[in-house]
């Protein structure tokens, strides 16, 4: 099937993935955010093209009125997921659609995620340094992160410390949060537990590490 552009295939993959994850389709604004499209008119254009090609039905009276009615044939479908890799860590909330934050988009085979399947909001952070070497996380690796500002005790997380991302094991002890390295030569970060996402000293949890990609 040669009637689809690369972007249209990505949007179809996203629509299917989103529906499988949540049971309903995304809104136009969610599509804009995912693909860094500046206006809903841009997203609407792609959806209307897909509708004309017979892949979608659209109910204009519903905010989630997109229905996929035709699948891309397995031989033609580009089975990949464009995962944003952060080039910088924000001082405020994550906005993965912002070009200022995205270093690149990495094409990931959905099979990488195993039985857990794709999650729409996953992002990657490139590891710098060897603070987690004893966990097998090496300098230059990309950790795959699920946004989750309130991790479980013992999770490996990506935290913002000042304006830098760091990968550490999260622990809550007494009245403090501990960001623990897996390298005896690296100092542990300990900050007051204020019962929220921000933990003082400009520390915030951005998400939980759910996978690892190693550059060969």
Mapping DSSP to helix (H, G, I), strand (E, B) and coil, where does residue 49 land? helix
5 is catalytic: no
10 forms bridges with which residues in the sheet? none
Is 42:35 a contact under the CB 8 Å cutoff? Answer: no
Single out the catalytic residue among 80, 168, 171, 215: 168
Contacts of residue 111, Cβ cutoff 8 Å, sequence gap at least 6: none
Contacts of residue 185, Cβ cutoff 8 Å, sequence gap at least 6: none
131 is catalytic: yes
Tell me which H or E stretch contains 206.
strand 203-213
Single out the catalytic residue among 5, 39, 131, 171: 131
Mapping DSSP to helix (H, G, I), strand (E, B) and coil, where does residue 15 land? helix
Closest CA to 143 of 204, 192, 215: 215
Contacts of residue 152, Cβ cutoff 8 Å, sequence gap at least 6: 170, 208
Which positions are annotated as active-site residues? 131, 168
């Amino acid at each position: 099937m040669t009637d689809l552009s690369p972007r249209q295939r990505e949007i179809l993959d996203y629509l299917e993935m989103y529906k499988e994850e949540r049971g309903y389709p995304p809104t136009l604004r969610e599509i804009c955010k995912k693909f860094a499209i500046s206006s809903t008119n841009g997203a609407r254009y792609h959806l209307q093209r897909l509708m004309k090609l017979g892949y979608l039905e659209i109910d204009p009276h519903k905010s989630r009125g997109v229905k996929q009615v035709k699948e891309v044939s397995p031989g033609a479908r580009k089975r990949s997921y464009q995962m944003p890799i952060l080039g910088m860590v924000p001082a405020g909330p994550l906005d993965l659609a912002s070009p200022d934050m995205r270093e690149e988009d990495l094409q990931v085979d959905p099979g990488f995620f195993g039985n857990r399947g794709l999650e729409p909001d996953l992002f990657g952070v490139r590891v710098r340094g060897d603070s987690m070497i004893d966990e097998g996380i090496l300098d230059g690796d990309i950790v795959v992160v699920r946004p989750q500002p309130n991790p479980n005790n013992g999770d490996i997380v990506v935290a913002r410390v000042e304006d830098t991302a760091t990968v550490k094991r999260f622990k809550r002890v007494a009245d403090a949060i501990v960001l623990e390295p897996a390298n005896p030569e690296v100092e542990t970060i300990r900050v007051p537990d204020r019962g929220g996402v921000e933990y003082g000293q400009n520390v915030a949890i951005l998400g939980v590490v759910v996978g690892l990609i190693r550059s060969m």
